[in-house]
Amino acid sequence: MMEHISIYRMADAVHALLAVDREPYALNAFLKIANSWVLRALSDVPGPDLRRRACRAFMKLLDGTREALEAPAAVRAPCSPRGATRIESIKYSGCARFVAEWGAEFVYRLVYDERLRARAIRTAARNLAAYVRYGMRLEGPYSSDWLSLADTAQSHELRDLVWKPFMARVEVDILSQCKLLSAVAEVWR
């Protein structure tokens, strides 16, 4: 049943749960993100602590869907950077997912905060340009719009081109937090 959930939706759900204490919109976002499949995945993990269960459910899904986070040989841009500024609802396909995976941002955060959205779009453009330099193909009618937006150089050397940039976000904000909660005994990867 796991394959019915996008790893991006699950990442949003877990991150929102972890952020509930500090972010005013996280709980609200969680209620929108958590569809029946997410709730089912959470309830399949035993335990009293919801955040630990969320971590375990996330790891379980990650194990099965890690290729979704691997950098592809070619990617098709579903929208232009301009179109991306109009992302307004939490969706795990099309433009919203594209900006999340290349801009390394959670979908719900870029929907709720337009400053984060604008930044994610710029980051996505820079990341796409960097991956293209290393041989990835960017396809579709909007590809040149994205590449021409990447005017500034990457401030850090990209170390890990095996994964899509979203993986760095997952590692920093979910895996490390889950480790703190000691929800995940074994080190992943």
Partner 1 sequence: MKVDLIDVDALAGLVGGERVLVIDPYPEVVPTAVEDKLLYLSSSIYGGISPLPLFSFSKGEARYLLSPRLHKSLADLMPGLKALYIEVVGEPQYPFTAVALVLSDLGINVAEAFLREYVCPELAALEEDDVPLARAIRSAVSKYLAVAASSPSPRSIRCFCGLCEDRGDRLDLDVLALDLKRRTAPRARRRDGLADLGEEDRAIVLRVIRGLSIPEFRRELLDLLNRYEV
Residues that bind partner 1 (CB under 8 A): 15, 19, 21-25, 28, 104, 106, 109, 111-116, 119, 122, 155-156, 159, 168-169, 171-173, 176-177, 179-180
Say if CB 75 and CB 138 are below 8 A apart. Answer: yes
Token pair 């950077």 in the structure block, residue? 81
The whole-angstrom separation of Cα 64 and Cα 182 is: 21
- Give SS3 for 110: helix
Residue 139 CB, nearest approach to partner 1 (Å): 27
Work out the number of other CB atoms within 10 angstroms of the CB of residue 82.
Answer: 11
Contacts of 184 (CB under 8 A, 6+ apart): 55, 56, 59, 175, 178
Residue 176 CB, nearest approach to partner 1 (Å): 7
Identify residue 43 by its one-letter amino acid code. S
Residue 67 CB, nearest approach to partner 1 (Å): 22
What angle do the packed helices 114-133 and 94-103 form, to 10 degrees? 70
Residue 15 CB, nearest approach to partner 1 (Å): 7
Residue 112 CB, nearest approach to partner 1 (Å): 5
C-beta of 46 vs 189, nearer to partner 1: 189
C-beta of 7 vs 170, nearer to partner 1: 170
C-beta of 45 vs 118, nearer to partner 1: 118
C-beta of 6 vs 123, nearer to partner 1: 123
The whole-angstrom separation of Cα 25 and Cα 162 is: 33
C-beta of 37 vs 106, nearer to partner 1: 106
